Structure 1
Amino acid sequence: MSDHQTETITSFDGTPLAVHRLGEGRPVLLLHGLFSSAQMNWLRFGHAALLAEAGFECLMPDLRAHGESAAPHDPASYPQGVLTQDLAAVVAGLELGDYDLVGFSLGARTVASGVIAGLSPRRLALCGMGLEGLSGWERRSAFFIDAIDRFDEVEREDAAFMAVAFMKQMKVDRVAARLLLQAVDDIALADLAQITMPTAVICGDKDGDNGSSEKLAEALPDARHVTIPGTHMSSVTEAELGIAIRNFLNEN
């Protein structure tokens, strides 16, 4: 079940986005986190394979400036809300009608923005995300922009060390990533009322990176909170993440 196919979807502005497919059955669109990729978040640790075995077709885009998708250096390629527009373009390009939607970290806030902008999946899973990560993105973004700007001088005891180490591991295009970070909008708390489909807020028991996942679940009209083991970085490596997503999507 490890063999996946990759295709290219052209986004709203002509930017090519890689989309990886695994499995057959009910479509589930999965968006990875910041500085990561579909390969790292969904394929490497078996989450996509688990969902495919459960009868889902996993559709896994690489976000703009990530993975195998294009990483343009032109600031004009990063209008405000660009990831939300990319998500809408992927849904349209794949001709998705009845589907489920899942995101981890930056992917979670992107799918939440997508629903607020008009997407209507059957079920929604927000993973590695808390209330403050949706409404207070500017502060979180500033942390990562600072890590990029100080990339070559960050030492092990620095708060930005893990972020820089992960960027090095993933060979992140820092010019493109910096532009992208400046193009992500905050989500108004009042807009969360528009997320009306059944939603699972799935978060590691030691993950407070994006604020309170419990408060996020409480703020949504039809959500439940699911705790899995791990920190923000480690929870995505745990089998329990894929199991929690599968169990939620399989509910009647």
Structure 2
Amino acid sequence: MRVTSNEIEPQFFDSFDGVRIAWRELGEGRPVVLIHGYFSDTKTNWLRYGHASAVAAEGFRVIMPDLRGHGDSAKPHEAASYPADALMRDGLTLVAHLGLTDYDLGGYSLGARTTVRMLANGATPARVVLSGMGLAGITSTAGRGGYFRNVLTNLGSFERGSREWLTEAFLKTTKGDPEALLRVLDTFVDTPRDALDAIAQPVLVAAGAEDDDNGSARDLADALPGGRYVEVPGNHMSAVTKPELGHAIAAFLRR
């Protein structure tokens, strides 16, 4: 049964630097941490379209943090609250806070990049899900960051229907904080190819058939020793609304 976002109250912990981070849980069983994308939040990415419910139905305890600067997590504006790899450190702090040892880990878009950064810095999940992400979005973060910096510093100026206008419209639906989100861009860190070579876990790389926003998902799967590519309908913005995404993640995790 699908659980709506309003039915789960957030819980909170203080991260490595004292910033308050929110998370929600759904289901019981084996833990899996799922991290949402940029401009989004747990409710929009995982709950609204039933993905968390699909995974929980397979016997999982789905743990879903709101990234720093997003959702119900703190949204400080000072630069000191957004050091390089802050999102990775938040994720590792959550895993430690919950005492997770045997668990799975994944994310969508920025959540996928954060997952890779966690893997490169000592996270040891059994299985990994990288969705809405391509190879370039992992190894070269500047280009995607530049796109969002342009949107956030020129709000209200884009032609209706343009890619930038649609991105700004999504920002409004999630009630994002533009200043905090600009700071989040400063946390991005590239992951070198040799670090990808060291990821030994089975990895599902799932992306929309028309999604090339972060480079090639097929190339990302090929770059990972245990990578497996699965295509779902849609582009970067629409794939996350399709039930096929949640079903693909649930099917991979239950193996």
Tell me the TM-score normalized by structure 2: 0.96
Task: For 2:44 and 2:161, locate their aligned partners in 1 and report how far apart those are by CA, in whole Å.
Answer: 26
CA shift digits 1:175-202 (9 cap, x unpaired)? 1100111221111122111211010100
Query: 1:158 Cα deviation (Å)?
Result: 4.0
Amino acid in the other structure paired with 1:24: E
What is the match of residue 192 of structure 2? 188
What is the match of residue 137 of structure 1? 141
Query: 1:159 Cα deviation (Å)?
Result: 3.7
Amino acid in the other structure paired with 1:225: Y
What is the match of residue 103 of structure 2? 99
What is the match of residue 207 of structure 1? 211
Contact persistence 1:80–1:183 (CA under 8 A) = yes
Task: For 1:152 and 1:33, locate their aligned partners in 2 and report how far apart those are by CA, in whole Å.
Answer: 22
- Output aligned runs, 1:164-179, within 5 Å: 164-179=168-183
Query: Unaligned regions of 5+ residues in structure 1, if any?
Result: none
What is the match of residue 127 of structure 2? 123
Contact persistence 1:5–1:22 (CA under 8 A) = no
CA shift digits 1:34-90 (9 cap, x unpaired)? 000000010000111111111101100000000000000111000011111111111
What is the match of residue 76 of structure 1? 80
Contact persistence 1:105–1:128 (CA under 8 A) = yes
Task: For 1:157 and 1:125, locate their aligned partners in 2 and report how far apart those are by CA, in whole Å.
Answer: 31
What is the match of residue 227 of structure 1? 231
Query: 1:102 Cα deviation (Å)?
Result: 1.2
Does residue 23 of structure 2 align to residue 26 of structure 1?
no
Query: 1:118 Cα deviation (Å)?
Result: 0.5
What is the match of residue 157 of structure 2? 153
Does residue 18 of structure 2 align to residue 14 of structure 1?
yes
Amino acid in the other structure paired with 1:18: A
Query: 1:156 Cα deviation (Å)?
Result: 1.5
Task: For 1:86 and 1:48, locate their aligned partners in 2 and report how far apart those are by CA, in whole Å.
Answer: 21
Contact persistence 1:28–1:101 (CA under 8 A) = yes
Contact persistence 2:10–2:72 (CA under 8 A) = no
SS in 2 for 1:133: helix
Query: 1:5 Cα deviation (Å)?
Result: 4.0
SS in 1 for 2:229: strand
Task: For 1:150 and 1:191, locate their aligned partners in 2 and report how far apart those are by CA, in whole Å.
Answer: 35
Q: How many residues align?
A: 251
SS in 2 for 1:232: coil
The percent of aligned pairs where both chains have the same amino acid is: 45
Query: Unaligned regions of 5+ residues in structure 2, if any?
Result: none
Contact persistence 1:115–1:194 (CA under 8 A) = no
Aligned CA-pair RMSD: 1.0
Task: For 2:44 and 2:108, locate their aligned partners in 1 and report how far apart those are by CA, in whole Å.
Answer: 12
SS in 1 for 2:244: helix
CA shift digits 1:142-177 (9 cap, x unpaired)? 110010000121222544111111111111111110
Task: For 1:159 and 1:66, locate their aligned partners in 2 and report how far apart those are by CA, in whole Å.
Answer: 21
Tell me the TM-score normalized by structure 1: 0.97
- Output aligned runs, 1:38-77, within 5 Å: 38-77=42-81
Task: For 1:82 and 1:56, locate their aligned partners in 2 and report how far apart those are by CA, in whole Å.
Answer: 27
Does residue 245 of structure 2 align to residue 244 of structure 1?
no
